[in-house]
Chains A and B, each alone.
Chain A
Amino acid sequence: MTRPPRRPTWRAARLTGVRPETGSARTLRFEVPGWPGHLAGQHVDVRVTAEDGYSAQRSYSLAAPADGDAIELTVEAVPDGEVSPYLTEVIEAGDEVEIRGPVGGWFVWRPESTAPVLLVGGGAGIVPLMAMIRARRLAGSRVPFRLLYSLRDPGSRYYADELRRPDPGLDVAYLYSRSTPEGWPRLAGRIMLDDLAEGGWPADFEPDCYVCGPTGFVERAADLLLALGHAPGRVRTERFGPTGG
């Protein structure tokens, strides 16, 4: 494992743009002067400070490859959360937060890697996986990618237009946990062995598997991958939170 860049300090970050993804999630673009660059899969710490000096910090995955000093995050509003409703509903272009990173040297995909890749995302867990898909496209990599994206319902799909556009060598499959689009062949329900057997790669292809999402989802999907014979060292996981779909 190579070392990530040495730990940077907090940097001022100005919000420059916002794109809605779903009714409860949006992508935030920040300008971070001096940003050192990052790898797909890494995350940042975001610090927000109130007038009285109180501050709160949370981790958010980088949603896209580095683009000069600009970075993108996609944040889902967690009901009654302290920080995510601020980022999804209150902050406006021109407002500032502090950002430190990039963080994480394990849950990363490097463009020079040649192993096939299986991405398994649940809910907001798509965010660092999307960074990997974008990094692959940007690098012109031919490594075959498969994405299994588990969603609560058709309305909660992030990056919908971009994922619909053809991207040679990338297969995308959707699973719905609560309700499906009309006529969808698979019943709504949690991810199952068959989903991973059909939508993933056989274990003897030795794919690198990246599993990200709410803890329960990650636990289940990673267990199923092991049951299908994937080596534990090839299953990298990132758990976002204690609960949720």
Chain B
Amino acid sequence: MAKLVSLHNSIHQELRISPEKAEYHGAELNMVPVMLSEFLKLAVQFPIALTKNKETGKFACVAMLGFAEKENLFWQHSKLDTLYTPLHIFRQPFFLGRNDAEGHSVTDSDQQYVVCFDAESNSVVSEGGELLFTSAGEETPYLQKMKAVLAELLDGETRTHTFVETLLELGLLTSMQLDITFANGESQRVNGMYTIDEKKLNALSGDTVVRLHNEGYLAHIYAMVTSTGQIYSLIQKKNARLSAAALNV
């Protein structure tokens, strides 16, 4: 469980964060929420799809990292073997929170934000890593960079949400039917993933296509369509794992 603590230059002057260890937060994720601004970078390696939030039923964009629960096929030798690390993992262990009256930090509110970190994170180290503040109490370039990432996530959330609303309004989503049989004969059905309905996409009127283009969505939609091909590279990764496991028996 995460324990969020708001960041203070006096209290946390000695605090060290190891960016490599922050990747542990992604070790057991089979999917990670992603922002519209990342789509083009993600599409070269991950399937980008949508899934519903279990609590609200609302759609969110995600990059798929594995098939089974807790299966991250990019997690190799205690690190993420990716060309690009999704912002939601890269941002660890930092969060935006809001200081309420009692001084407890509360995340996910559009009030005044303060930067928090997860005090239980593996990335909090006593030696090495990155300092957050200089001895004069000023923010280090590392912290500045991480704050920029948090700002990008905050802004990206709204933009990504509007994008998803547009897809829904145009009826462009369809559920993904995935029945995968791996090299060892084991098969798996992947439920609850959604993607672009290519038939509907191709049938859009010229006006709608122009609208999507003007809103900057068209490239992202096609990035999603292309990225679904990455499912095959995920299957390959899984097969490689299964055969490695078989050899070790």
Is the A/B pair a real complex?
Answer: no
* Chain B residues within 8 Å of A, Cβ to Cβ: none
